[in-house]
Structures are given as structure tokens and as C-alpha cells.
Amino acid sequence: MAAVLITAAALALSTASAATAQATSPASIRDADQQMLLGWASHDLTTMAAEEAAFGRPNGMLSTYVDFVQSPAFPHAYADAAAARGSALLIAWEPWDWNRPADQQPEFAPRRIAAGAYDAHLKAWLRDAATRSADAEIIVRFAPEMDDSTRPWSSKAGKKATTTPTDYINMWRHVYALKQAIAPNLVFLWNPLNYGAGPYPFESYYPGAAYVDALALDGFNWGTARPQSPGWQSTEDVFGFTRADGPVVRLKKLAAGKPWGIAEAASAPDDPASFRAGGSQYAAWGSWVFEWPENPPYEATADDWITQEGWSRMLIRRARDSGASFVNFFHTVKETDWRLSDTEVGRRVFDEAS
């Protein structure tokens, strides 16, 4: 990723905003009166500072990732940054080794974690987290996207994998019990993928209301970023905010009043030419025209759907109107360029939350 030049004026804006936030109590997804929190995952803290300058606002929910091998320590630098802004901190805590194939890590099988094989590591990490829980609300996405098939805690992560939803539930309940004993103020977030590639629906992995503090979904509009993608999709296609069988509706049934939100979401970049006759996304454009009478007040114009910026604005609106406590964007370059801050229109997307 190319380095971003931050001007002194932009840094001053970010610093002043952070100082103002620090004067108030830390943001919390458990506060019913709290405005929906809006944040993004950056490449790193330096990149995030540049993005804050571009967006003209502090990040309301910092987001980072740790695993058990390559990045095993509690991310204190992110906790410092969240505390300085009065923001929440969202941590994906992943029980595996990022640098190895998922189907070659039997040592991280959920049943081993449930049996206590990693208790020393879990307890040490939780003790560190407990020391920071007064500085910022710390939300932990432990073993997320379990309904997919690409991680050691997923079902069918490899041909010889035997992990079941029951194994996952037992692991979760074991780690949650440790959390309750060591760091009860942490928010443990149960976080499936909207439509997983695994053999079981996400409800099969739910450990029960007594073992979950909050819930979230991940979902992306892939466009043509990967061959198996269904093509350009609306926020309703991705999350099903209003459909009885939609992921959001199903998640809210499980939540039963607990806080819920969107932990990872983004749209692939748009290519206006692809929506014209002969373009790769012309069929999607045709679907939009057909569905148009049903979509307002959301996708009321073409730009609200067939652009990366419009898709992101509609996600914020739909999530807020559905009662979400937070939306966190995957604002980085990975499979494609998911970022919004490269265009003037994109930099205004977060104004939707104001």
C-alpha cells in the first residue's frame, strides 16, 4: 500500500477531534442511547490517521486482528488509540496461525481449545485485556465467521476435518467462561458470515444467550473481484435487512434484544462502464431497474446502488434503521481495493452517520 502524506493541518484536525472525544465517556455498543457507532479497519494505525484526516472525523470503532502465533499479544497500541479518541475497539481474536493453511493446523482444533490446551495463552491475553477495559470498550470477535469453511474452527476446513458445530460451541463456552472469570467487562461478540460456505447455517453454531454479549455479521459486495462471486449486489442482497430468510433478520432473532451490528463490510470498487449494455454487470443493472419500485427510500437512484460510495451509504442507512448498534467497514486493500477515501464522494460517505 502506498504511503499517504498527512498534512499538519489534517493531523491537527484528527488530534483535536480525538481530544474532544476523550473528554466524554468511552463509546459503548451496550448504551441504548448511543448513536450507532461507525468505524473502519485500516492497514495500520499510521494509515488510519491519514484516513481520519481525509474523512474529517475520528474513527468511532477501531478494528484490528490478532492470532495465536504471528500476533499473539494483546494489541495495546490500538487500545491506546481507542482510548485517546473515546472510541470502541473491535478485535478479531483468531485461534490459529495466519501463515499456514487452515487444513494443516489440527493443533488448533476447537475440541483441543475446549479441553484447555491453550488456557495459559487465553488467560494471559485476557488478563492484559482486563487492564484496558476501563480505557475503552473492548469488543472481541472470537473465532469469527465460523459458518465458513476456511479456518480450523470451521466445519470442513479440510478433507479430513471433523469439526462440528458442537465442537465450536464447546470451545466458545470454555473461552467465554475464562473471560467472565478474568475480564468480565470485555464484550464477547459472536460473529458469523452472512452466507457461509460451510455445511451448516450460522444458527447451528450459536452457543446460547448466556454465553454471548453481542452479535454481528460480516458481508461483502464482491462485484467481479473474485470468479465465484454472484456479481454486483445491493446491501439488501448481501445482508437481507427485510427478508424473512435474510441474515440480518435471522441474526436479530438470535440477538433477542442484545446489541448487534455489522463487524466487516465493504463494496468492491465500481466501474460505470460495466453497467452499460454489453458490460459484465449489465444484468445486475437490469435487476436494479426491475426492483426499483420496492427499494426507496434506500436505493432510490442508480448511484445509490451501482457505485461503491452509494452502496456504503445505503449500508449505513439500512443498518441504522434496522436497529444496529455499530457498522465497521473493511477499509483496506486485500482481495480488491475496499477503501472509500480515494475519492471526494467516498470521503463524504461517513457523513451519513451525522
**DSSP E strand stretches across 177-259:** 187-190, 214-221
Among candidate residues 11, 2, 92, the one with its CA nearest the CA of residue 58:
11
For residue 191, what are the β-bridge partners? none
What pLDDT tens digit does each residue of the chain (354 aa) get?
333 323 333 333 344 444 444 446 789 999 988 889 999 999 999 999 999 999 999 999 999 999 999 999 999 999 999 999 999 999 999 999 999 998 899 999 999 999 999 999 999 999 999 999 999 999 999 999 999 988 999 998 555 657 899 999 999 999 999 999 999 999 999 999 999 888 999 999 999 999 999 999 999 999 888 877 888 999 999 999 999 999 999 999 999 999 999 999 999 998 888 888 888 888 877 777 767 666 778 888 888 888 999 999 999 999 999 999 999 999 999 999 999 987 888 899 988 776
Other Cβ atoms within 10 Å of 278 Cβ, number: 7
Per-residue cell: 91: 478485535
CA distance linking residue 320 with residue 309, whole number of Å: 17
CB 349 within 8 A of CB 309: yes
The 8-class DSSP code of residue 9 comes to H
CB 263 within 8 A of CB 146: no
Three-state secondary structure readout of 289-345: HHHHHHCCCCCCCHHHCCCHHHHHHHHHHHHHHCCCCEEEEECCECCCECCCCCCHH
Cis peptide before 297 (omega within 30 of 0): yes
CA distance linking residue 53 with residue 56, whole number of Å: 5
DSSP β-ladder status, 260-267 and 37-41: unpaired
Q: How far is CA 98 from CA 4, 48, 150, 172, in A?
A: 27, 22, 11, 20
Report the residue count for the chain. 354
Per-residue cell: 16: 483535536
CA distance linking residue 53 with residue 7, whole number of Å: 8
What pLDDT sits at residue 217? Answer: 98
Q: How far is CA 80 from CA 40, 62, 344, in A?
A: 16, 11, 30
What pLDDT sits at residue 225? Answer: 85
Classify residue 242 by burial, with Cβ atoms within 10 Å: 0-12, 13-18, 19+. Answer: middle
**Alpha-carbon dihedral angle through residues 272, 274, 278, 282, given to the nearest 10 degrees:** -90
Among candidate residues 88, 91, 179, 173, the one with its CA nearest the CA of residue 127:
179
Residue type, 112: R
Residue type, 42: S
Residue type, 45: L
pTM: 0.90
What pLDDT sits at residue 15? Answer: 42
Domains of the chain: 26-353 (3.20.20.80)
